[in-house]
Amino acid sequence: MHSKDIYAQWAVESMYLISLSLRFETKILDIAYLLLLKLMKEPDFEIDGRFIKLYLKVLTKQGKYKEALDFIDMKSGFFEGNKIERQKQDASLYHALNNPVLAINVYFNMLRLNSNVHQYKEIWECYMKCIRIILHDFLPKN
């Protein structure tokens, strides 16, 4: 990775962090998004895990959940070693898209596949999120 790529990613990360503290909408995330797109078009730029996570953070903060899901599908090779991370990302994006059925389905698949005794502590957060979605978003309110 070239030094200009590292500086560009740092600039995007800085813009993302600034956007978290702002109380009103600005164009700072749009600039960060355009910079990420420009980086991807560079001929010698290699997309790595840090870039993928940064790109997904920016898309999610912008509310571009469908585009984030499509990007995850395009870069599915990155998640080969850690399928739990991809499933967590998918579930949170489906939930953000206001689709609790798909979010619950992803969580159930994740919990079913990873129900090994040694992994219960690692995925306890998934149990809690799944239960919250079922209780607050899926079940009818009386």
Instruction: Please count the other Cβ atoms lying within 10 Å of the Cβ belonging to residue 28.
Output: 14
- Show Cβ contacts of residue 37 under 8 Å, excluding neighbours closer than 6 positions: none
- Show Cβ contacts of residue 32 under 8 Å, excluding neighbours closer than 6 positions: 11, 12, 15, 16, 19, 58
pLDDT confidence of 118, banded at 50, 70, 90? low
Burial degree of 141 (CB within 10 A; 0-12, 13-18, 19+): exposed
Distances (CA, A) of 20 to 33, 38, 105: 15, 23, 30
Burial degree of 20 (CB within 10 A; 0-12, 13-18, 19+): exposed
pLDDT confidence of 100, banded at 50, 70, 90? confident
Residue-wise pLDDT for 2-61, tens only, equals: 677 788 888 989 999 888 888 777 788 899 999 999 988 988 888 888 889 899 999 999
Stated pTM of the model: 0.78
Where do we find the tokens 């609790």? Answer: 100
